[in-house]
Structure 1
């Protein structure tokens, strides 16, 4: 599978799933990749190692930045863009009824996980329309949290459910332009998401062990949770011509977590 004809913008490119997606698309499948994130040093290192062809330093939660990211990416890719991967995201926990679940918590989770992907998509659509005959597509990194409820992270679940519905609706509206829109919905993946959300090392270790032994059925046989490479490979497939009749899907990559229910 070659993606050498694709010009891809990846947000959230400096870490986790976004970083691995850039690396796999560039190095394994020869796509042109422009990465965007807040961490200039990480992006510069990725450029030097060949994971991206260029980068844009920006915070997707700041006003006007999503539009600027798309505009600059189009310029850096020679006036064209075929593909968008919305991998920027964040988690701020809070249980309904507790002080931490408030309007500020809601705004944070909605802004980074739903508003930003929507703004990126809307800014990119005019350029994607120009490449409707070149397998134009959008993939957003959602979460298993968009598919089922979890305690202690209500507004995060709300944001991921909203971005899932955004994808389904956009897939219908954009189908006439030949633009495909899909999501990937990871379960627990070995990234820094939970650490940056405030989980200490002891708690994170216990969380991973519980994920392996109890909450992710496939993990008990594999002896591990998911890894970013697996998600990146799914994204690569979804943006390729191998997936040319797939749109509007929110595809779980969660070791059957969504099928287990609460535990």
Structure 2
């Protein structure tokens, strides 16, 4: 299996890492990329199919995978939701919403994508965008840390369930990535610390060995590798892409 000629689907495709993943898969030769997001994904490439959809809606996800002209062989779960909390003072509704987006949605997309692939006897490559927050834990984001840790566990379990069908399942754990979501994090921290924009960004990157945030394109490059023919023997793994910050 190769990305070239395959149908791919990326969630959270309108901006940030998701948009970079769309571009990387197009460069790798995908026949079509279904760009799923609550907002429309703008592109001049005819191979990009914008789909405005709520990934927490199981019926919509089921119908999407059932009704595509070709089965989705490359799946990238990039959509995510993140915000600072006050310790464990998280409303149950907010906790459930975080899990619905960060953990349940990848489960649903993998469930319905693999169902069709198995039915048509086709191989596949799934990549879930997790986070180092799921490996290390951080203050004031218990819901996000727990959901991303769960996503890495789901990745390992799904890899075992789907390996015999020729479907690989891996995760990527980014660190501090320079995206619109990170810009909101910086703004939230500035309200707490009183630092300026550059000072706050420097504080976030101070302990990163390479001395900077990662770019969305660097995460997308890892996605391109894990969905390529060169990675067919890799499954159930979480690849950390954080500039050397996590060393365990």
Compute the TM-score of the two structures, normalised by the length of structure 2.
0.89
Find the counterpart in structure 2 of residue 174 from structure 1: 162
Q: How far apart are the structure 1 equivalents of 2:186 and 2:91?
A: 17
Separation of aligned partners in 1, 2:120 and 2:220: 23
**Cα-Cα RMSD:** 2.2
The runs of 5 or more residues in structure 2 that have no matched partner are none
1:211 aligns with 2:200: no
Equivalent position SS for 2:57: coil
Residues 235-257 of structure 1, C-alpha deviation per residue, up to 9 Å, x if partnerless?
A: 00000110010000011000122
SS across alignment from 1:64: helix
Aligned residue number for residue 83 of structure 1: 74
Q: 2:96 aligns with which of 107, 119, 123?
A: 107
Counterpart pick for 1:247 among 204, 224, 235? 235
d(CA) in 1 for partners of 2:52 and 2:128?
Answer: 19
Q: Distance in 2 between matches of 1:156 and 1:61?
A: 16
Across the two proteins, how many residue pairs are aligned to each other? 241
Cα offset, 1:185, TM superposition: 0.5
Task: Give the superposition deviation at 1:132.
Answer: 5.3
In proportion to residue count, which structure has more helix? Answer: 1
Aligned to 1:30: 29
Correspondence for 2:14: 14
Q: Which residue of 1 aligns with 2:114?
A: 125
Q: Are the counterparts in 2 of residues 61 and 112 from structure 1 also a CA contact under 8 Å?
A: yes
Say if 1:114 and 1:163, in contact at 8 Å, map to a contact too: yes
Instruction: Give the whole-Å Cα distance in 2 for the aligned partners of 1:92 and 1:201.
Output: 11
Shift in Å at residue 233 of structure 1?
0.7
Instruction: Report SS of the residue matched to 1:84.
Output: strand
CA 1:162–1:89 in structure 2 vs 1: closer, same or farther (change >3 Å)?
same
State the distance in 2 between where 1:118 and 1:54 align. Answer: 22
Q: Secondary structure at the match of 2:210?
A: helix
Report deviation, 1:198.
8.3
Secondary structure of residue in 2 paired with 1:35: strand
What is the aligned partner in structure 2 of residue 144 from structure 1? 132
Match of 1:238 in 2: 226
Cα–Cα, structure 1 residues 248 and 71, in superposed 2: closer, same or farther, change >3 Å?
Answer: same
TM-score, normalising length from structure 1?
Answer: 0.84
CA contact (8 A) 1:92 1:109 kept: no
The 2-side partners of 1:65 and 1:198 are apart by 33
The separation in 2 between residues aligned to 1:13 and 1:35, in whole angstroms, is 5
Moved more, 187-196 or 80-89: 187-196
